[in-house]
Structure 1
Amino acid sequence: MKALLLLSRGIDLVNEKIGRASIWLILVMTLISAINAVMRKAFDLSSNAFLEVQWYLFSAVFLFCAAYALQKNAHVRIDVLYGRFSRRTQVWIDILGTVFFLLPMALMILWLSWPVFVTSLRTHEISPNAGGLPFWPARLLVPVGFAMLILQALSEIVKRIAFLTGAGPDPAAGEAGPSEEEALAEEIRKLRAASGEGAK
Protein backbone atom coordinates (compact mmCIF):
# COMPACT_ATOMS: atom_id res chain seq x y z
CA MET A 1 0.00 0.00 0.00
CA LYS A 2 2.90 2.37 0.73
CA ALA A 3 4.20 1.92 -2.82
CA LEU A 4 0.73 2.55 -4.25
CA LEU A 5 0.30 5.68 -2.13
CA LEU A 6 3.69 6.92 -3.33
CA LEU A 7 2.60 6.33 -6.93
CA SER A 8 -0.69 8.09 -6.16
CA ARG A 9 1.16 11.13 -4.81
CA GLY A 10 3.30 11.19 -7.95
CA ILE A 11 0.20 11.13 -10.19
CA ASP A 12 -1.41 13.86 -8.09
CA LEU A 13 1.69 16.05 -8.36
CA VAL A 14 1.98 15.69 -12.14
CA ASN A 15 -1.73 16.30 -12.78
CA GLU A 16 -1.80 19.26 -10.41
CA LYS A 17 1.17 20.91 -12.15
CA ILE A 18 -0.35 20.30 -15.59
CA GLY A 19 -3.78 21.51 -14.42
CA ARG A 20 -2.41 24.71 -12.87
CA ALA A 21 -0.29 25.41 -15.95
CA SER A 22 -3.25 24.78 -18.27
CA ILE A 23 -5.30 27.43 -16.48
CA TRP A 24 -2.96 30.04 -17.96
CA LEU A 25 -4.09 28.99 -21.44
CA ILE A 26 -7.32 30.87 -20.73
CA LEU A 27 -5.30 34.10 -20.62
CA VAL A 28 -3.54 33.14 -23.86
CA MET A 29 -6.92 32.47 -25.52
CA THR A 30 -8.22 35.83 -24.35
CA LEU A 31 -5.18 37.68 -25.72
CA ILE A 32 -5.39 35.89 -29.08
CA SER A 33 -9.09 36.69 -29.31
CA ALA A 34 -8.46 40.36 -28.49
CA ILE A 35 -5.61 40.65 -31.00
CA ASN A 36 -7.71 38.96 -33.68
CA ALA A 37 -10.61 41.35 -33.01
CA VAL A 38 -8.36 44.43 -33.15
CA MET A 39 -6.67 43.27 -36.37
CA ARG A 40 -10.03 42.55 -37.98
CA LYS A 41 -11.71 45.83 -36.97
CA ALA A 42 -8.75 48.20 -37.30
CA PHE A 43 -6.84 46.74 -40.25
CA ASP A 44 -9.40 44.45 -41.92
CA LEU A 45 -6.99 41.53 -41.39
CA SER A 46 -7.98 38.16 -40.02
CA SER A 47 -7.00 34.53 -40.18
CA ASN A 48 -8.79 31.27 -39.53
CA ALA A 49 -5.63 30.14 -37.76
CA PHE A 50 -6.38 32.63 -34.95
CA LEU A 51 -9.84 31.13 -34.48
CA GLU A 52 -8.65 27.54 -34.67
CA VAL A 53 -5.81 28.02 -32.21
CA GLN A 54 -8.41 29.34 -29.73
CA TRP A 55 -10.42 26.14 -30.20
CA TYR A 56 -7.28 24.05 -29.69
CA LEU A 57 -6.41 25.92 -26.50
CA PHE A 58 -9.96 25.63 -25.17
CA SER A 59 -9.82 21.87 -25.80
CA ALA A 60 -6.48 21.68 -24.00
CA VAL A 61 -7.89 23.50 -20.96
CA PHE A 62 -10.95 21.27 -20.82
CA LEU A 63 -9.08 17.99 -21.31
CA PHE A 64 -5.96 18.74 -19.25
CA CYS A 65 -7.92 20.17 -16.32
CA ALA A 66 -10.33 17.22 -16.09
CA ALA A 67 -7.85 15.15 -14.07
CA TYR A 68 -7.04 18.16 -11.90
CA ALA A 69 -10.74 18.76 -11.23
CA LEU A 70 -11.20 15.09 -10.29
CA GLN A 71 -8.27 15.34 -7.87
CA LYS A 72 -9.82 18.43 -6.22
CA ASN A 73 -13.33 16.88 -6.26
CA ALA A 74 -14.45 19.89 -8.29
CA HIS A 75 -16.62 18.08 -10.84
CA VAL A 76 -20.33 18.83 -10.77
CA ARG A 77 -22.05 16.35 -8.49
CA ILE A 78 -25.83 16.02 -8.16
CA ASP A 79 -26.09 15.09 -4.50
CA VAL A 80 -29.50 13.62 -3.66
CA LEU A 81 -28.56 10.82 -1.26
CA TYR A 82 -24.74 10.90 -1.10
CA GLY A 83 -24.52 13.53 1.65
CA ARG A 84 -26.82 11.51 3.95
CA PHE A 85 -24.54 8.46 4.06
CA SER A 86 -21.65 7.84 6.44
CA ARG A 87 -18.18 8.80 5.23
CA ARG A 88 -17.20 5.15 4.67
CA THR A 89 -20.31 4.59 2.53
CA GLN A 90 -19.50 7.73 0.54
CA VAL A 91 -15.99 6.41 -0.09
CA TRP A 92 -17.40 3.09 -1.30
CA ILE A 93 -19.75 4.96 -3.64
CA ASP A 94 -16.76 6.91 -5.00
CA ILE A 95 -14.79 3.71 -5.60
CA LEU A 96 -17.66 1.86 -7.28
CA GLY A 97 -18.59 4.89 -9.39
CA THR A 98 -15.00 5.26 -10.55
CA VAL A 99 -14.56 1.55 -11.32
CA PHE A 100 -17.87 0.95 -13.08
CA PHE A 101 -18.56 4.32 -14.73
CA LEU A 102 -15.57 6.68 -14.96
CA LEU A 103 -12.84 4.18 -15.88
CA PRO A 104 -14.81 2.26 -18.57
CA MET A 105 -15.89 5.53 -20.21
CA ALA A 106 -12.38 7.02 -20.12
CA LEU A 107 -10.73 3.81 -21.34
CA MET A 108 -13.19 3.52 -24.23
CA ILE A 109 -12.60 7.12 -25.34
CA LEU A 110 -8.82 6.64 -25.06
CA TRP A 111 -9.04 3.43 -27.09
CA LEU A 112 -11.20 5.03 -29.81
CA SER A 113 -9.38 8.36 -30.02
CA TRP A 114 -5.83 7.02 -30.43
CA PRO A 115 -6.33 5.58 -33.97
CA VAL A 116 -8.01 8.85 -35.01
CA PHE A 117 -4.90 10.77 -33.91
CA VAL A 118 -2.54 8.31 -35.64
CA THR A 119 -4.50 8.53 -38.91
CA SER A 120 -4.57 12.33 -38.70
CA LEU A 121 -0.81 12.47 -38.15
CA ARG A 122 -0.04 9.93 -40.89
CA THR A 123 -2.21 11.67 -43.50
CA HIS A 124 -1.14 15.21 -42.48
CA GLU A 125 -4.79 16.14 -41.96
CA ILE A 126 -5.29 19.90 -42.22
CA SER A 127 -8.31 22.10 -41.59
CA PRO A 128 -10.33 22.70 -44.76
CA ASN A 129 -10.62 26.39 -43.86
CA ALA A 130 -8.33 28.84 -45.64
CA GLY A 131 -5.23 29.37 -43.54
CA GLY A 132 -6.33 26.60 -41.20
CA LEU A 133 -4.06 24.58 -38.92
CA PRO A 134 -3.07 20.90 -38.90
CA PHE A 135 -5.59 18.74 -37.08
CA TRP A 136 -3.24 16.22 -35.45
CA PRO A 137 -2.33 18.39 -32.40
CA ALA A 138 -6.01 18.75 -31.55
CA ARG A 139 -6.57 15.03 -32.13
CA LEU A 140 -3.68 14.24 -29.76
CA LEU A 141 -5.24 16.26 -26.94
CA VAL A 142 -8.08 13.74 -26.55
CA PRO A 143 -6.08 10.57 -25.78
CA VAL A 144 -3.56 12.50 -23.67
CA GLY A 145 -6.33 14.17 -21.64
CA PHE A 146 -8.15 10.91 -21.03
CA ALA A 147 -4.92 9.09 -20.16
CA MET A 148 -4.35 11.73 -17.47
CA LEU A 149 -7.93 11.27 -16.27
CA ILE A 150 -7.48 7.47 -16.06
CA LEU A 151 -4.29 7.86 -14.01
CA GLN A 152 -6.02 10.30 -11.67
CA ALA A 153 -8.97 7.92 -11.29
CA LEU A 154 -6.58 5.15 -10.27
CA SER A 155 -4.91 7.53 -7.82
CA GLU A 156 -8.30 8.37 -6.28
CA ILE A 157 -9.13 4.66 -5.90
CA VAL A 158 -5.80 4.03 -4.14
CA LYS A 159 -6.37 6.92 -1.72
CA ARG A 160 -9.86 5.71 -0.87
CA ILE A 161 -8.79 2.09 -0.35
CA ALA A 162 -6.01 3.36 1.90
CA PHE A 163 -8.58 5.29 3.91
CA LEU A 164 -10.88 2.27 4.23
CA THR A 165 -8.02 0.04 5.40
CA GLY A 166 -6.65 2.63 7.81
CA ALA A 167 -3.46 3.09 5.79
CA GLY A 168 -4.14 6.68 4.78
CA PRO A 169 -6.11 9.80 5.64
CA ASP A 170 -9.56 10.68 4.36
CA PRO A 171 -9.03 11.95 0.78
CA ALA A 172 -11.72 14.59 1.39
CA ALA A 173 -10.11 15.86 4.60
CA GLY A 174 -8.44 18.73 2.74
CA GLU A 175 -11.78 19.79 1.28
CA ALA A 176 -13.18 21.02 4.59
CA GLY A 177 -13.79 24.74 4.95
CA PRO A 178 -14.63 27.38 2.37
CA SER A 179 -13.41 27.19 -1.21
CA GLU A 180 -10.97 29.76 -2.59
CA GLU A 181 -13.88 31.63 -4.19
CA GLU A 182 -15.85 31.64 -0.93
CA ALA A 183 -12.79 32.85 1.01
CA LEU A 184 -12.26 35.66 -1.51
CA ALA A 185 -15.93 36.67 -1.31
CA GLU A 186 -15.68 36.77 2.49
CA GLU A 187 -12.57 38.98 2.30
CA ILE A 188 -14.36 41.38 -0.06
CA ARG A 189 -17.34 41.49 2.28
CA LYS A 190 -15.07 42.30 5.22
CA LEU A 191 -13.30 45.06 3.27
CA ARG A 192 -16.63 46.60 2.25
CA ALA A 193 -17.89 46.45 5.83
CA ALA A 194 -14.65 48.03 7.09
CA SER A 195 -14.76 50.82 4.49
CA GLY A 196 -18.42 51.48 5.34
CA GLU A 197 -17.59 51.83 9.02
CA GLY A 198 -14.66 54.12 8.18
CA ALA A 199 -16.92 56.37 6.14
CA LYS A 200 -19.22 56.79 9.14
Structure 2
Amino acid sequence: MSSLLQLSRAIDRLSEFVGRNVAWLVLAAVLISAVNAIVRKAFDTSSNAFLEIQWYLFAAIFLLAGGYTMLRQEHVRIDVILSRFTRRTQVKVEIFGLVVFVLPFVFAVIDLVWPLVRTAYVSGEMSSNAGGLIRWPVYALVPLGFTLLGLQTLSEIIKRAAYLGGQAGDPAIKTGSKSAEEELAEAIRAQAEGAKR
Protein backbone atom coordinates (compact mmCIF):
# COMPACT_ATOMS: atom_id res chain seq x y z
CA MET A 1 0.00 0.00 0.00
CA SER A 2 2.89 2.40 0.63
CA SER A 3 3.89 2.36 -3.05
CA LEU A 4 0.27 3.06 -4.02
CA LEU A 5 0.16 5.97 -1.57
CA GLN A 6 3.36 7.32 -3.15
CA LEU A 7 1.67 7.08 -6.55
CA SER A 8 -1.37 8.86 -5.09
CA ARG A 9 0.82 11.68 -3.75
CA ALA A 10 2.53 12.03 -7.14
CA ILE A 11 -0.86 12.28 -8.88
CA ASP A 12 -1.99 14.83 -6.28
CA ARG A 13 1.11 16.94 -6.98
CA LEU A 14 0.38 16.77 -10.72
CA SER A 15 -3.25 17.84 -10.17
CA GLU A 16 -2.12 20.65 -7.89
CA PHE A 17 0.43 21.86 -10.47
CA VAL A 18 -2.06 21.75 -13.33
CA GLY A 19 -4.83 23.41 -11.30
CA ARG A 20 -2.67 26.27 -10.12
CA ASN A 21 -1.31 26.94 -13.61
CA VAL A 22 -4.66 26.61 -15.35
CA ALA A 23 -5.89 29.43 -13.12
CA TRP A 24 -3.70 31.77 -15.17
CA LEU A 25 -5.82 30.92 -18.22
CA VAL A 26 -8.70 32.74 -16.54
CA LEU A 27 -6.61 35.93 -16.56
CA ALA A 28 -5.64 35.35 -20.19
CA ALA A 29 -9.28 34.82 -21.19
CA VAL A 30 -10.37 37.99 -19.37
CA LEU A 31 -7.60 40.08 -20.97
CA ILE A 32 -8.31 38.76 -24.46
CA SER A 33 -12.02 39.35 -23.96
CA ALA A 34 -11.42 42.91 -22.73
CA VAL A 35 -9.05 43.77 -25.59
CA ASN A 36 -11.43 42.26 -28.11
CA ALA A 37 -14.35 44.29 -26.71
CA ILE A 38 -12.31 47.52 -26.69
CA VAL A 39 -11.09 47.00 -30.26
CA ARG A 40 -14.62 46.18 -31.43
CA LYS A 41 -16.10 49.32 -29.82
CA ALA A 42 -13.23 51.72 -30.52
CA PHE A 43 -12.27 50.63 -34.04
CA ASP A 44 -15.44 48.84 -35.18
CA THR A 45 -13.47 45.74 -36.09
CA SER A 46 -13.21 42.24 -34.67
CA SER A 47 -11.48 38.94 -35.23
CA ASN A 48 -13.04 35.49 -35.12
CA ALA A 49 -9.68 34.14 -33.96
CA PHE A 50 -9.89 36.27 -30.79
CA LEU A 51 -13.44 35.09 -30.13
CA GLU A 52 -12.47 31.46 -30.66
CA ILE A 53 -9.38 31.66 -28.47
CA GLN A 54 -11.68 32.75 -25.63
CA TRP A 55 -13.75 29.59 -26.17
CA TYR A 56 -10.58 27.49 -26.31
CA LEU A 57 -9.35 28.99 -23.05
CA PHE A 58 -12.71 28.37 -21.37
CA ALA A 59 -12.59 24.75 -22.55
CA ALA A 60 -9.04 24.40 -21.21
CA ILE A 61 -10.00 25.86 -17.82
CA PHE A 62 -13.05 23.64 -17.48
CA LEU A 63 -11.49 20.41 -18.75
CA LEU A 64 -7.98 20.59 -17.33
CA ALA A 65 -9.09 21.64 -13.83
CA GLY A 66 -11.41 18.65 -13.27
CA GLY A 67 -8.74 16.63 -11.46
CA TYR A 68 -7.77 19.64 -9.35
CA THR A 69 -11.42 20.15 -8.42
CA MET A 70 -11.65 16.54 -7.28
CA LEU A 71 -8.38 16.84 -5.34
CA ARG A 72 -9.73 19.87 -3.47
CA GLN A 73 -13.03 18.07 -2.73
CA GLU A 74 -14.96 20.83 -4.53
CA HIS A 75 -16.92 18.51 -6.83
CA VAL A 76 -20.64 17.81 -6.52
CA ARG A 77 -21.37 15.36 -3.74
CA ILE A 78 -24.45 13.63 -2.36
CA ASP A 79 -23.84 14.52 1.28
CA VAL A 80 -27.57 14.86 2.00
CA ILE A 81 -27.92 11.10 1.67
CA LEU A 82 -24.43 10.02 2.79
CA SER A 83 -24.45 12.09 5.98
CA ARG A 84 -26.80 9.53 7.56
CA PHE A 85 -24.15 6.79 7.39
CA THR A 86 -20.94 6.21 9.33
CA ARG A 87 -17.76 7.64 7.84
CA ARG A 88 -16.52 4.16 6.85
CA THR A 89 -19.77 3.48 4.98
CA GLN A 90 -19.50 6.87 3.29
CA VAL A 91 -15.99 6.03 2.09
CA LYS A 92 -17.16 2.66 0.77
CA VAL A 93 -19.96 4.37 -1.16
CA GLU A 94 -17.46 6.92 -2.52
CA ILE A 95 -15.15 4.13 -3.71
CA PHE A 96 -18.11 2.40 -5.34
CA GLY A 97 -19.09 5.61 -7.14
CA LEU A 98 -15.55 6.31 -8.33
CA VAL A 99 -15.01 2.75 -9.61
CA VAL A 100 -18.45 2.10 -11.10
CA PHE A 101 -19.36 5.53 -12.46
CA VAL A 102 -16.39 7.92 -12.80
CA LEU A 103 -13.69 5.62 -14.19
CA PRO A 104 -15.93 4.00 -16.86
CA PHE A 105 -17.17 7.45 -17.88
CA VAL A 106 -13.58 8.70 -18.19
CA PHE A 107 -12.58 5.73 -20.34
CA ALA A 108 -15.69 6.03 -22.52
CA VAL A 109 -15.13 9.74 -23.20
CA ILE A 110 -11.47 9.24 -24.08
CA ASP A 111 -12.34 6.28 -26.32
CA LEU A 112 -15.04 8.25 -28.14
CA VAL A 113 -13.15 11.53 -28.56
CA TRP A 114 -9.67 10.26 -29.46
CA PRO A 115 -10.61 9.32 -33.07
CA LEU A 116 -12.03 12.83 -33.56
CA VAL A 117 -8.78 14.38 -32.33
CA ARG A 118 -6.73 12.18 -34.65
CA THR A 119 -8.97 12.91 -37.66
CA ALA A 120 -8.92 16.68 -37.01
CA TYR A 121 -5.13 16.62 -36.66
CA VAL A 122 -4.52 14.60 -39.82
CA SER A 123 -6.98 16.65 -41.88
CA GLY A 124 -5.85 19.98 -40.46
CA GLU A 125 -9.47 20.83 -39.67
CA MET A 126 -10.08 24.56 -39.38
CA SER A 127 -12.96 26.55 -37.97
CA SER A 128 -15.66 27.31 -40.53
CA ASN A 129 -15.57 30.97 -39.43
CA ALA A 130 -13.47 33.38 -41.47
CA GLY A 131 -10.12 33.80 -39.75
CA GLY A 132 -10.91 30.98 -37.35
CA LEU A 133 -8.43 28.69 -35.63
CA ILE A 134 -7.41 25.08 -36.15
CA ARG A 135 -9.63 22.67 -34.25
CA TRP A 136 -7.46 19.75 -33.11
CA PRO A 137 -5.92 21.55 -30.09
CA VAL A 138 -9.32 22.20 -28.55
CA TYR A 139 -10.45 18.66 -29.37
CA ALA A 140 -7.28 17.34 -27.70
CA LEU A 141 -8.23 19.10 -24.48
CA VAL A 142 -11.05 16.60 -23.96
CA PRO A 143 -8.96 13.40 -23.71
CA LEU A 144 -6.21 15.30 -21.88
CA GLY A 145 -8.64 16.70 -19.31
CA PHE A 146 -10.34 13.35 -18.82
CA THR A 147 -6.97 11.62 -18.45
CA LEU A 148 -6.13 14.04 -15.63
CA LEU A 149 -9.55 13.42 -14.09
CA GLY A 150 -9.03 9.65 -14.37
CA LEU A 151 -5.63 9.88 -12.69
CA GLN A 152 -7.07 11.93 -9.83
CA THR A 153 -9.93 9.44 -9.52
CA LEU A 154 -7.35 6.66 -9.14
CA SER A 155 -5.59 8.71 -6.46
CA GLU A 156 -8.86 9.23 -4.59
CA ILE A 157 -9.61 5.49 -4.70
CA ILE A 158 -6.13 4.73 -3.30
CA LYS A 159 -6.56 7.27 -0.48
CA ARG A 160 -9.95 5.91 0.45
CA ALA A 161 -8.74 2.29 0.43
CA ALA A 162 -5.80 3.33 2.64
CA TYR A 163 -8.22 5.06 5.01
CA LEU A 164 -10.34 1.91 5.26
CA GLY A 165 -7.16 -0.09 5.95
CA GLY A 166 -6.09 2.35 8.68
CA GLN A 167 -3.00 3.47 6.76
CA ALA A 168 -4.06 7.05 5.98
CA GLY A 169 -6.20 9.83 7.32
CA ASP A 170 -9.66 10.75 6.12
CA PRO A 171 -9.37 11.75 2.44
CA ALA A 172 -12.44 14.01 2.61
CA ILE A 173 -10.72 16.51 4.88
CA LYS A 174 -9.84 19.47 2.72
CA THR A 175 -6.21 20.46 2.66
CA GLY A 176 -4.48 23.64 1.66
CA SER A 177 -5.78 27.16 1.72
CA LYS A 178 -9.21 28.29 2.79
CA SER A 179 -12.05 28.30 0.30
CA ALA A 180 -13.44 31.56 -1.05
CA GLU A 181 -16.51 31.09 1.15
CA GLU A 182 -14.38 30.66 4.29
CA GLU A 183 -12.33 33.76 3.46
CA LEU A 184 -15.52 35.77 2.84
CA ALA A 185 -17.04 34.57 6.15
CA GLU A 186 -13.88 35.60 8.03
CA ALA A 187 -13.88 39.02 6.34
CA ILE A 188 -17.54 39.58 7.28
CA ARG A 189 -16.85 38.52 10.88
CA ALA A 190 -13.85 40.86 11.09
CA GLN A 191 -15.88 43.71 9.64
CA ALA A 192 -18.73 43.10 12.08
CA GLU A 193 -16.31 43.01 15.03
CA GLY A 194 -14.67 46.22 13.79
CA ALA A 195 -18.07 47.92 13.57
CA LYS A 196 -18.90 46.94 17.19
CA ARG A 197 -15.79 48.69 18.52
With structure 1 as the length reference, what TM-score do the two structures score?
Answer: 0.93
Q: Which residue does 2:114 correspond to in 1?
A: 114
Following TM superposition, the consecutive aligned residue runs of length 4 or more in structure 1 with deviations greater than 6 angstroms are none
For structure 2, list consecutive stretches of 5 or more residues without a partner in the other structure: none
Alpha-carbon deviation of 1:88?
0.4
| Structure-2 separation of matches of 1:39 and 1:128 | 23
Q: Which residue does 1:69 correspond to in 2?
A: 69
Q: Which residue does 1:29 correspond to in 2?
A: 29
Equivalent pairs: percent with the same residue?
A: 49
For structure 1, list consecutive stretches of 5 or more residues without a partner in the other structure: none
CA RMSD in angstroms, aligned pairs only:
1.7
Q: Deviations over 1:67-112 (max 9, x none)?
A: 1111111112243310111010000001000111001011000111
Q: Which residue does 1:16 correspond to in 2?
A: 16
Q: Deviations over 1:165-195 (max 9, x none)?
A: 11211112336xx952233123322332244
| Structure-2 separation of matches of 1:189 and 1:169 | 32
| Structure-2 separation of matches of 1:53 and 1:174 | 33
Further displaced range: 8-17 or 185-194: 185-194
| Structure-2 separation of matches of 1:61 and 1:24 | 9
| Structure-2 separation of matches of 1:174 and 1:40 | 44
| Structure-2 separation of matches of 1:146 and 1:14 | 14
Matched positions, count: 197
Q: Which residue does 2:40 correspond to in 1?
A: 40
Aligned residues of 2:49 and 2:132 also touching (Cα < 8 A): yes
| Structure-1 separation of matches of 2:79 and 2:183 | 25
With structure 2 as the length reference, what TM-score do the two structures score?
Answer: 0.94
- Aligned residue type for 1:16: E
Aligned counterparts, 1:156-171, within 5 A: 156-171=156-171
Q: Which residue does 1:143 correspond to in 2?
A: 143
| Structure-1 separation of matches of 2:10 and 2:41 | 48
